[in-house]
Amino acid sequence: MAEKTKYTDAEIEEFRLIIVEKKQEAERLAKEFKQEADDIILSPVGFKTIEEASEAASKKELIDKHVKQLAFASSLNFALMRIDNEHYGHCRDCGKLIPKERLRVAPHSTQCCDCKNLN
């Protein structure tokens, strides 16, 4: 039996739905982290207390989470573009299909597990 070289339209649609759902969640979380960071009030002069220093650290963590979620949403957006361009699901290194199980968990993947593990 020949090795499968592309996913069916139904499989691609399944991946599209997963991607859209994950992208919406990432954007929601990014907005939530940003709002939480904005709600932390810091003294403009500097840290006067340990509590203020702790608030600054918390704000930095929230901003880092915000940026990470935005980056994840962006990678999901690129996955949607690969679907639209009919390049979705193929490993960028070896060209083989990325296993369905991997794409269901990490739909933004651009490499199969073998190629990813080589890097």
What is the pLDDT, as a whole number, of residue 117? 92
Q: pTM, whole model, 2 decimals?
A: 0.84
What is the pLDDT, as a whole number, of residue 54? 79
**Helices and strands: H and E segment counts in the chain:** 4, 0
What is the pLDDT, as a whole number, of residue 48? 65
What is the pLDDT, as a whole number, of residue 32? 95
Give the whole-number percent of the chain exceeding pLDDT 90.
74
- Rounded (10°) angle between helices 9-39 and 50-84: 160
Residue range 21-78, pLDDT digits in tens? 999 999 999 999 999 888 876 655 565 677 776 777 888 999 999 999 999 999 999 9
The stretch 102-106 carries a mean pLDDT of 96
